[in-house]
Structures are given as structure tokens and as C-alpha cells.
Amino acid sequence: MQVSADDTSRAGEPEACDLLLLGGTILTLDEADTTLADGAVAVRDRRIAAIGPRAALAARFRAARTLDCGGRLLMPGLVNSHNHTPLMITRGMIEDLGFAPMFTAGIPQGHRLTEGEAEALARLGVYEMLRHGCTTIVDFYRYPQALARAHAELGSRAIVAGRVHDADPEALTQRRYVYDPTLAREAIQENADLIAAWDGHDQGRIRCDWAPHAPDTCSDACLAEVAGLAAGHGGNIHTHLCQSPVEVEQVRARSGLTPPQAMEAAGLLTPALLAAHCIHIEAEDVARLGRAGAAMAYTPLGNAKTGRIAPALDLAEAGVEITLCTDTFSGDLFEAMRWGVAMQRIRRGAPVLDARTALAWATGNGARRLGLGAEVGALTVGRRADILVMNTDAPSMAPLIDGHGLLVYGATGMDVGTVIVDGRVVIEDGVLATADGPAIVREAQKVSEGLWARSGRRPITLGEA
């Protein structure tokens, strides 16, 4: 049982708190893997003030608001470590067309969006991830201030960055690399403006970082410049690494180095690096990432949809910490946990990994690598109150015997009932509490129809031309 420091010194009068969650089984995912049946959580000033038996906390606290969680399962919010929310526009469209939006002709991505369109799509992406229990979200793309506004409004905890590169995006759709220093200056300025305007917003709920897109889409000079800026800023560095054979070939042709070697030469291969994908990576570079103390954003859904499996376990064994993400292919990190285990078992041909490891990838590991290990990722006194209340009356959430296994192998994001971020209820009984959810979907649908129509693909919702 966890209690606050002043628990034994109370004078008998009920303590005030902002929110009291009464009842339910609590899966804390703390270091001792504590579980508590018929428990309660008290929230005060955005943080967990106490965790303990329901009867004890009901008597101890006088809450501004009380939620009855009897029969439910409470757990920490999920940490989704790599996303580009406006790319929700590609869902159901990119999987059969090509490798990635930035390299696929005819896709209405980044350089074809207006800022208003990016914000409408970002709101859809944030809404979906919150609905599926992702309370901390790494999000970087063009128009990063539009992303920051979406997270600020809807209530997620976010780490936002721009999309820094100097490879011409239109040439990339033709698989040509044309580096333009003007593009680098513009993207770097956009990221710098984001940091100036948003870093630390709402008591740190919104944080900003640097994100060089990838070692092939950034020239060596661009990578080095971002390394200097990121070192001065602190925080994390977000990127794509060894994502495709094309990337590996381009970096080798340009510099004679592998992508991780190029990142190292630029000064980016550090403990601050959170690298997504890491699929086409050599054994020497697996060891190189481990020695550097870098972390991986594991993307099992996106990788598998293109017929690839990243060597996540090889990286973990080399000392690379594994975090988990959906990379905008969906918002369902429960699905990603399940796929993440399955893909590594297929790759190793053995029943490697377990549910507790997958849950750690989706919670504590991500929190720690984002510098939030003392703040989120587990339910303990003093941490930020980022809490999920799971609907145990859903058929996919029964029978509840071992909560860890059920969450990884049975649950889906739609089993999330209530989502609390920083002590604020942002999803209640599946309904967005901070904005009009159906209106967000309608706006994103309208924007998407226009963008796809401009790109030469008429949406079925518009009928015949």
C-alpha cells in the first residue's frame, strides 16, 4: 500500500483533494509491481496524493469530484514515443501504395498541407490516441505549433518537435535526393520558434525537442547543425534511423558511412537520441547504439505492414532501451504491444518476451527515456496523475485473472473507459471531455477529402465527378 508522507500526522479532519477514484483493481506498474484490489487513488494539484484501500481513502479525503471505479482496472497512462499526427490522413491509403509518405508520390503529406489543414488532422490524431489511452505522446511534423495547439486543447501530455530536413520533399517522391540549405534554415527556424513559444507550456505538460527527420533526408551539415542546437537545448533528439534500404544506400553513397555512423559523426548518437524503426541495421551498429546509450522507438505495426521486423531484442540485449509507438498507423498502443511481442517471437522462432516487458515498453521505458521517469509511467505517490480506467465489463477484458497478460494479449484501445492526464479527466466513459469529438472527426474528414481530391484521388464520400 502506498500512502503520502503526511499520512500518519493527520489530525483527523478529511483532507481536500481534487479527484478521488474509488474502487477497482489498481495495477501500479511500480518497481515492486504492486497491485491492489478494491483500491483508491487521490489526486491533488495534478499529482497522485495517495494510493491505498478504498475504505481508508474514502474516509481520509474530501474530494471536489469522486469517480466510482468499482469493478474497473486502473493503470498508468501509456507513453507513445513516436508519431506524426497529421499523417492520419494516410491511414488505409499508404499501406498498399508504397513505403512511407515522404517517399511516395501522390500522397498529400507535409509540404502539401496548409497550417490549418495540419492542425485539423493533428486534432484527429491526438483525439484518437487519447481515446486509446495514450496520455504521453511524442509528435513531430511540419507546422509543429499546430501540433502543440492540438495537444494543449485536447489535454494530452506531449513532446512536440518540427520536422527538420534539407532534402527537397518533392524530389524524394521520385527517389531523388536534392539538398537545399534554404529548406534547412526554414525548418530549423520553425523548430526554434516552436521551442520559444511552447516549451514548458501548462506546467510542463507540453515540452518541445529537436527532430532531424533522418540521416538520409538531412545532409551531414544539417545533422551537425541540429546536434549543436539540441545539445544547447537539452531534452531528447527524435529521428528515423535505418528505416529502409534506400536510406542506408543514400547515406553510404554520400559519406561512406552507415546511418548510425553518420549520426555519430554529427554528434547526434548520444543518450538523448530516440530513434524510430532501426530495421536495416548492421550488428556493429546495434552495438554502437548500445554503447552510446541511445533508445529505440519500436514500431511493430508499421514495420509488419511493410513485411519487415526490427531487431528490437538484439538492440535491447546490446543495451538500447526499447520504447513503443504506433507511428500514426493507429492510436492503439495495446495493439502495438501485442504485435511487438509477436514480431519478436517470429523473428527469434521462440516464445521470447512476456506481457510485463511489453507493458514496460509502453509505460515506464518511454517515460524514462523522455526524461519523465519520476513523473509518469507508473502509479505512485508524487507522480503526475496520468491514469487509465479500463472497462472490465467489455468481453475482451474478461476474465481478469492476470492483469498484465490480459492487457497485452486481450485488450484494445476501445476498452479504455476514462483517461486522466495531469489530474484532469480528458476522456470520460469513452467521450472526449475537452472538445467536441465528433466535430473533430467531421473537420478532419472534410480536410482529408479536399487534400486527396487535390492529389488526384477522389474520396468515395464525394460520389462521381
- Checking if the pLDDT of 114 tops 80, the result is yes
What was the pLDDT predicted at 360? 98
With contact defined as beta carbons under 8 Å apart, do 444 and 125 qualify?
no
What pLDDT score was predicted for residue 458?
Answer: 85
Tell me how far apart the terminal alpha carbons of the chain are, to the nearest angstrom.
64
Establish if 303 belongs to a structural domain. yes
Residue 186 maps to a domain: yes
Tell me what the mean pLDDT of segment 80-108 comes to.
Answer: 81
As a whole number of angstroms, the longest Cα–Cα distance in the chain is 74
Q: In the prediction, which pLDDT does 314 show?
A: 98
Tell me, what's the pLDDT at 98?
Answer: 61
Q: Is residue 387 part of a domain?
A: no
In a domain, 252, yes or no: yes
> Is residue 332 pLDDT above 90, yes or no?
yes
Among 40-54, 97-111, 175-189, the minimum mean pLDDT is found in 97-111
pLDDT tens-digit map of 218-247: 999 999 999 999 999 999 999 999 999 999
Which residues lie across from 40 on neighbouring strands? 22, 52
Position 328 pLDDT exceeds 90:
no
Q: For the residues 133-158, what does the mean pLDDT come to?
A: 98
Of the listed ranges 59-68, 106-115, 151-160, the one predicted with least confidence: 106-115
pLDDT tens-digit series, residues 394-418:
999 999 999 999 999 999 999 999 9
pLDDT reading at 207 higher than 90:
yes
Q: Is position 222 within any domain?
A: yes
Q: Is residue 329 part of a domain?
A: yes
Indicate the pLDDT class of residue 329, thresholds 50, 70 and 90. confident
Task: Extract the C-alpha cell encoding 1.
Answer: 500500500
- 160 and 147 Cβ atoms separated by less than 8 Å: yes
Asked if residue 24 is part of any domain, the answer here is: no
Q: Give the whole-angstrom CA distance, residue 380 versus residue 49.
A: 9
* 273/454: higher pLDDT: 273
Report whether pLDDT(427) > 60: yes
pLDDT digits (tens, 9 = 90+) for 118-141: 999 999 999 999 999 999 999 999
For residue 93, the one-letter residue type is M
Strand segments, DSSP code E, in 102-213 are: 134-140, 157-161, 206-208
Residue 6 above 90 pLDDT?
A: no
Does the residue 344 lie in any domain?
A: yes
CB of 18 within 8 A of CB of 65? yes
Residue 8: the pLDDT is 40
Would you place residue 464 in the very low, low, confident or very high pLDDT band (cuts 50, 70, 90)? low
Percent of residues, the chain, with pLDDT higher than 70: 96
Around Cβ 465, how many Cβ atoms within 10 Å? 5
Model confidence pLDDT, tens digit, residues 33-63: 999 999 999 999 999 999 999 999 999 999 9
Distances (CA, A) of 383 to 46, 199, 338, 401: 9, 20, 27, 27
**Residue 462 carries which side chain, given as an amino acid letter?**
L
At 336, which CATH number?
3.20.20.140
How high is the mean pLDDT of the chain? 94
Q: What are the residue ranges of helices labelled H in 27-134?
A: 54-60, 115-131
Query: In total, how many domains does the chain have?
Result: 1
Lowest-pLDDT choice from 232-241, 264-273, 278-287, 450-459: 450-459
- The band of 99, judged by pLDDT with boundaries at 50, 70 and 90, is low
Query: Quick check: 230 and 140 in contact, CB under 8 A?
Result: no
The band of 302, judged by pLDDT with boundaries at 50, 70 and 90, is confident
pLDDT band at 275 (very low <50, low <70, confident <90, very high): very high
Give, as one character, the DSSP assignment of residue 179. Answer: B
Helix then strand then coil, % of the chain, to nearest 5 = 40, 20, 35
162: containing domain: 78-369
Cell numbers placing 378: 507508473
How many DSSP H helices and E strands does the chain contain? Answer: 17, 19
Phi-psi region of 307 (alpha: psi -120 to 50; beta: other; left: phi over 0): left
Is residue 58 a contact partner of residue 424, using CB atoms and an 8 Å limit? no
